[in-house]
Chains A and B, each alone.
Chain A
């Protein structure tokens, strides 16, 4: 039977507190202490880079993927397949079926239902949901939204959770919208969304799903309900008579609502602690509703993500202030200086020729002398070998590296100065002069252990293009330095 075979998640490391947001508004926090925070993308993260990290968190050697779906309402490209970029970054075989799904807050659950029902001939399908949620500065949703991603692999063998029921309703209920050419949402009154939307549209679909699975609300061990308006998730749970102990963690004050990714991210958190034979109800709201009921199998627990939601949360880094967030999110028109004026036009011909290097961090391994090298070149870099055309592709993305040399550069342009970079040496051979990301002052020195991460390298503001590449980030947050 088709079901979920693996799961993973990613939460960007940076956190913006509700206090920082409140203090940054014209009215200020009025002396109040406000608890809670949201996850925010660093300047070089977006829905694609978050998706790549979530997918890496989920995928293991044994996955044989034949398809990938990226669900997002904030994917950076309207016409260049975002899922294709994720696939290339994951160095997936190009014999792959891929698609983007978007358009509503239930894009993640819709992609999941579709994958679970599609059959998985010859391999598995990866469903990734990812959001980079930016509102206008000071918008009510700024404190409630969060950035994050989740990934689920769907297949027929080693299933850890089976689909027991799925119900969907499509209703053009416009609680909010974002026009194709707009950067931000427009919202209607919350009381109307709660009373006329969520509380009327969701319950009958949940009941239909329970009936389809031949279950009662009390049978459900983990309940994941949408809460597009504060408190409405709890109100739904009460009305539907779910057990209070079954209500899954909302992460509303640690990550924020990650939109289309949120039900899947919460599901990933549930799966990491669920036991065999437990029932999970998952619902999403957005111009209708999706409801799924899953039941874990005896194989649950055999499959854990690399870090999961809990591990990702532990890598938390506070952002220093609200103004910096506004700058990263593109909400203020900052002076960047002349050094940022350089033309970042990408030669698309070049990008395509070396897409395995640029997107997949694939180098070479010499079949004659075994030397690993980046980039893959015609002549082997080993001076004792220098053989011609002997290198087979070798993927460096998941190979740990150590810092050989570094500096913190206050001169060259970066949206987050200083710019850390240096020469790193991969375990087992291969070197790279790499940009670093997520570095706190004093956290990196010669010998620090780094892990590669797919990030935005350049923004070409003239042509609205963004170029991706891999950067070295301190492994395990900023605590990667070898003792």
Chain B
């Protein structure tokens, strides 16, 4: 494996808009909101940014397919701006572009910003795609909940779990995230819920009820990255560095070949192994302090804990019910409320996850602050269980504890 970028790139500043049904905001407003916090946090001037990466996945909604929307919104001084999209992992992809630019020496300071304006469709859920192209001619007509619900059927049968027991574990995933989200003023959904309410909620895609699904929101998040040397020269101490950024992309094997049983994410296992190797993590369940995973649906989070080797295969549902991933558990997961409470503005989510890790590592997470975290893991997934892109990133204190 290549040497990787561990500790070559640090986060100079971050920002995150309030996520929610931002009826009064254009994508421009969301970008400016996140950026204003970020640039103030970084303590630099816009003119010091060498290049920028914009993540946004649904071009129908205000942003267009190139770098122009970000350059216009922030009046960037004619620097390179690249739009990236990689399904729901787009935000992580923007950060990867900016981090690699810094690590390579091509840029001193780079910006990654993710934004999505989803609430202009007139209905809940993601915008419907146009159906003129080949994939739409032969793929099943599916929705995101329907695609991810498939996991539950295979996981239940493979591990011989009672339907009601699995439903209860899934319910606890959501209850736990709402407990955390209630403490986060930037979260979209801030209400507490009960397992009973989750279990008895309206069915969306069997066995996922409405509370097994993440919200749909508008939002933006961004990061400014640089080298440790430049950060120090700018007077920054106590730096948060990138330990690993890995991406694994399906090639059709799961959906077209054999041996994948539908109960887990093939790519997540590959991306997490590579990330642990890049970061030098040998015992993730013990070494990772916090995880922000792609909880688009409760079952996604549940099986992902196994794919990240944080729970043993077939045991995540027990860990969930035991409270291992609760705020006061062994490895708090979705300490900010997750996609469940933030919703999932596609381009923004990956950066929103990093934002929470950044706050936690700096001890700036307020009421939901975890004691002395050392390594934070983010997992950002796009597509469907049978074909997806999966990003795993690890951040921590530059040259800090945890190894």
Residues of A within 8 A of B (CB): 337-339, 341-347, 350-351, 354, 357-358, 371, 373-375, 377, 381-383, 404-414, 418-419, 421-423, 425, 429-435, 445-447, 457-458, 467, 469
Whether A414 and B125, one on each chain, are in contact in the complex, defined by CB atoms closer than 8 angstroms, is: no
Query: Does B73 make an interface contact (CB < 8 A)?
Result: no
Whether A407 and B256, one on each chain, are in contact in the complex, defined by CB atoms closer than 8 angstroms, is: no
Nearest A residue to B143 via CB reads A412
Instruction: Looking at the assembled complex, report how far the CB atom of A357 sits from the nearest CB atom of chain B, in whole angstroms.
Output: 6
Instruction: Give chain B residues whose Cβ lies under 8 Å from the Cβ of A447.
Output: 157
Our pick among A351, A373, A419 for the contact of B141 (Cβ within 8 Å) is A419
Nearest A residue to B139 via CB reads A433
Instruction: Give chain A residues whose Cβ lies under 8 Å from the Cβ of B257.
Output: 371, 373, 381-383, 429, 431
**B interface, over-half SS:** loop
Whether A433 and B137, one on each chain, are in contact in the complex, defined by CB atoms closer than 8 angstroms, is: no
Residue among B139, B252, B257 facing the most chain A CB atoms (10 A cut-off): B257
Whether B132 and A412, one on each chain, are in contact in the complex, defined by CB atoms closer than 8 angstroms, is: no
Our pick among B137, B146, B208, B255 for the contact of A467 (Cβ within 8 Å) is B137
> A342 and B252 in contact (CB under 8 A), knowing A405-B150, A433-B386?
no
Instruction: Give chain B residues whose Cβ lies under 8 Å from the Cβ of A351.
Output: 137
Whether A377 and B252, one on each chain, are in contact in the complex, defined by CB atoms closer than 8 angstroms, is: yes
Query: Does B154 make an interface contact (CB < 8 A)?
Result: yes
How long is the Cα–Cα vector from A425 to B262 in the complex, in angstroms?
Answer: 11
Whether B142 and A412, one on each chain, are in contact in the complex, defined by CB atoms closer than 8 angstroms, is: yes
Query: Does B134 make an interface contact (CB < 8 A)?
Result: yes
Whether A411 and B125, one on each chain, are in contact in the complex, defined by CB atoms closer than 8 angstroms, is: yes
Residue among B204, B251, B253 facing the most chain A CB atoms (10 A cut-off): B204
Residues of B within 8 A of A (CB): 121-123, 125, 128-134, 137-143, 145-147, 149-154, 157, 202-208, 251-253, 255-258, 261-263, 384-386
Instruction: Looking at the assembled complex, report how far the CB atom of B259 sits from the nearest CB atom of chain A, in whole angstroms.
Output: 10
Our pick among B130, B140, B143, B384 for the contact of A411 (Cβ within 8 Å) is B143
User: 18 A-B residue contacts at CB 8 Å?
Assistant: A342-B130, A346-B132, A381-B256, A383-B253, A405-B154, A407-B206, A408-B203, A409-B205, A410-B206, A412-B142, A412-B143, A418-B205, A419-B141, A423-B150, A429-B257, A431-B257, A446-B154, A458-B141
Whether B122 and A338, one on each chain, are in contact in the complex, defined by CB atoms closer than 8 angstroms, is: yes
Instruction: Give chain A residues whose Cβ lies under 8 Å from the Cβ of B252.
Output: 377, 381
How long is the Cα–Cα vector from A409 to B137 in the complex, in angstroms?
Answer: 19
> A339 and B261 in contact (CB under 8 A), knowing A373-B256, A411-B204, A421-B142?
no
Whether B261 and A457, one on each chain, are in contact in the complex, defined by CB atoms closer than 8 angstroms, is: no
Our pick among B123, B128, B149, B253 for the contact of A409 (Cβ within 8 Å) is B149
How long is the Cα–Cα vector from A434 to B146 in the complex, in angstroms?
Answer: 12
Our pick among A339, A342, A375, A419 for the contact of B146 (Cβ within 8 Å) is A419
How long is the Cα–Cα vector from A458 to B143 in the complex, in angstroms?
Answer: 15
Whether B132 and A343, one on each chain, are in contact in the complex, defined by CB atoms closer than 8 angstroms, is: yes
Instruction: Give chain A residues whose Cβ lies under 8 Å from the Cβ of B123.
Output: 337-339
Interface contacts beyond A383-B253, A407-B149: sample of 13 additional A-B pairs, CB < 8 Å, sorted by A = A339-B123, A342-B128, A350-B134, A358-B138, A371-B257, A404-B262, A408-B203, A409-B146, A410-B206, A411-B205, A423-B150, A423-B255, A445-B157
Nearest B residue to A408 via CB reads B206
Instruction: Give chain A residues whose Cβ lies under 8 Å from the Cβ of B141.
Output: 412-414, 419, 421, 435, 457-458
Our pick among A344, A414, A430, A469 for the contact of B138 (Cβ within 8 Å) is A469
Residue among A344, A405, A410, A431 facing the most chain B CB atoms (10 A cut-off): A405
Whether A350 and B133, one on each chain, are in contact in the complex, defined by CB atoms closer than 8 angstroms, is: yes
How long is the Cα–Cα vector from A469 to B131 in the complex, in angstroms?
Answer: 13
Our pick among A342, A409, A435 for the contact of B129 (Cβ within 8 Å) is A342
How long is the Cα–Cα vector from A375 to B385 in the complex, in angstroms?
Answer: 18
Whether A350 and B253, one on each chain, are in contact in the complex, defined by CB atoms closer than 8 angstroms, is: no
Instruction: Looking at the assembled complex, report how far the CB atom of B195 sits from the nearest CB atom of chain A, in whole angstroms.
Output: 21
How long is the Cα–Cα vector from A388 to B151 in the complex, in angstroms?
Answer: 32
Residue among B122, B140, B141 facing the most chain A CB atoms (10 A cut-off): B140
How long is the Cα–Cα vector from A132 to B149 in the complex, in angstroms?
Answer: 35
Instruction: Give chain B residues whose Cβ lies under 8 Å from the Cβ of A350.
Output: 132-134, 137
Instruction: Give chain B residues whose Cβ lies under 8 Å from the Cβ of A414.
Output: 141
Instruction: Looking at the assembled complex, report how far the CB atom of A217 sits from the nearest CB atom of chain B, in whole angstroms.
Output: 54
Whether B134 and A354, one on each chain, are in contact in the complex, defined by CB atoms closer than 8 angstroms, is: yes
Instruction: Give chain B residues whose Cβ lies under 8 Å from the Cβ of A358.
Output: 137-138
Whether A445 and B153, one on each chain, are in contact in the complex, defined by CB atoms closer than 8 angstroms, is: yes
Nearest B residue to A424 via CB reads B140
How long is the Cα–Cα vector from A430 to B256 in the complex, in angstroms?
Answer: 6
Nearest B residue to A446 via CB reads B157
How long is the Cα–Cα vector from A429 to B141 in the complex, in angstroms?
Answer: 23
Instruction: Give chain B residues whose Cβ lies under 8 Å from the Cβ of A357.
Output: 137-138
> A407 and B134 in contact (CB under 8 A), knowing A338-B122, A371-B257?
no
Our pick among B133, B203, B251, B384 for the contact of A347 (Cβ within 8 Å) is B133
Our pick among A339, A341, A407, A469 for the contact of B137 (Cβ within 8 Å) is A469
Instruction: Looking at the assembled complex, report how far the CB atom of B145 sits from the nearest CB atom of chain A, in whole angstroms.
Output: 6
Whether B132 and A423, one on each chain, are in contact in the complex, defined by CB atoms closer than 8 angstroms, is: no
Instruction: Looking at the assembled complex, report how far the CB atom of B170 sits from the nearest CB atom of chain A, in whole angstroms.
Output: 13
How long is the Cα–Cα vector from A154 to B261 in the complex, in angstroms?
Answer: 45
Instruction: Give chain A residues whose Cβ lies under 8 Å from the Cβ of B150.
Output: 405-407, 422-423
Instruction: Give chain A residues whose Cβ lies under 8 Å from the Cβ of B145.
Output: 407, 409, 411
How long is the Cα–Cα vector from A338 to B252 in the complex, in angstroms?
Answer: 31
